[in-house]
Structure 1
Amino acid sequence: MPVVLTRLSVFASPLALVLAWLLLARFGGFPAQLLVPPQEVYQAFVELLQSGELREHLANSLSRLALGFCAGALGGLLFGIAMALSETVEAYCGPLFHVLRQIPSIALIPMFILFFGVEETFKVVVVAKASFFPVALAASDGVKGIPRRYFEVAEVYRLPLPSLVRDVALPAAAPPIVTGLRIALSRAWMVLVAAELLAADSGLGQMIEMSRQMMRIDIVMVGVVLTGLVGFTLDHGFRLLERRLLRWRDTP
């Protein structure tokens, strides 16, 4: 398939979805207040953009995501490496880690609200929890998958622990760690929007919930579409970063 057609095919499914949405809104017999036509959603988007309200909500959501993701990912990276390199950490912390990582982050939201209230700390902690476990698991499995001879050479040269982690463990386990970071970022974004739906005074989730209560389905759809686009952009951007950082894998 020519390159031009391949690139154009990316827009095929979104255009088909918008067309189906337009036809259902016009001929599907749904009430106008429930299935808002795309042009009204676009008009609501322009109004929110011009008023600055949309930028404020988006900025608040992204700032929470950045803070929580950085904290959770860094903690998960350090813990995962420690669990892979230390049998003691694995023995004492491994079982509890594998139990806690099975608990959905959304299920912990009521408990987090009781502990931290509904202010910013609660949202950041939820994002950090959602980021911690995928990164820790990826780092642990990635380091455990490193060939044993790498560590044997490090023992011969008597590398200290910081050098062992920086010069051996991290480069060799980079592919699964980067994949874990990408998965963690996507999960963190979804959990953050869900948390904002339940308890927040700003953010995309809060905008969606308030609009639902006011029966402004056009603004609800703006929030839903924008949530998907932001999530896609974050994931695609991380894929490009992953391809750039790990381009050495494709060299013969």
Structure 2
Amino acid sequence: MKGNREAGLVSVVVTNYNRADYLLECLDSILAQTYRKWELIFIDDASTDDSVAIVNEWLRRHQASLTEGQNQVILHVLPRNIGFAGAINVGFYLARGEYIAVQDSDDYSHVRRLERQVAFLQENPQIELVGTNYYAFPSETPTKRELSTWIKYGSDIRKVYGNGGHCVCHGTILFRARLFDQIGGPTRRIEGAEDYEFIAKSLNARANIENLPEALYYYRQHENQRSTKYYRRKEEKK
């Protein structure tokens, strides 16, 4: 696969476990992207709710639009629950694009998210991974949005991680797939903070990382957010 990646294609990897209530908003936000060259890889981690049925119905309803746009959608249902690190690695391995984007199944993206991030990487060949700022909102009051203030930029990113901190929202990242080919995905070594580990591992491999100050992602706060034992921030869910 390393030598067969499709130029310009963004592989959007969505992992899901029992987020049926939020899936339509998540999926619709990918379908609405102004950047049209994408594939969607949806990894369901053996959900026990109606998640798979909802995705299948969404696919049926949007089949014509997907066919017209030549957008491939892969729905991969894992036979048993393997956790975030395992699920997202399955998605990363299935990705065939030049770029890989992450999308949490209970959040949604701005319609120009992929366009802005791909353009940034094309204009900045020295950067391997780019995140964005985002709006956080309570699930029960979705119009009550607050702009994140903990995201950092430029050389401050490496400094923050060097001191054990965190300043990249994992759900917003888009990176060159060659980064995954080089270092692999997250592991289970830091339970609950696998996404943090992936950023730190990228920096340790001397990859350059940046965040866009523009809020291109909408981050849902709700009672059943994936918890973390390693790192917790009021704004961020793991």
Q: Could you state the TM-score of these two structures normalised by the residue count of structure 2?
A: 0.22
Q: Please state which structure has a larger fraction of its residues in strand.
A: 2
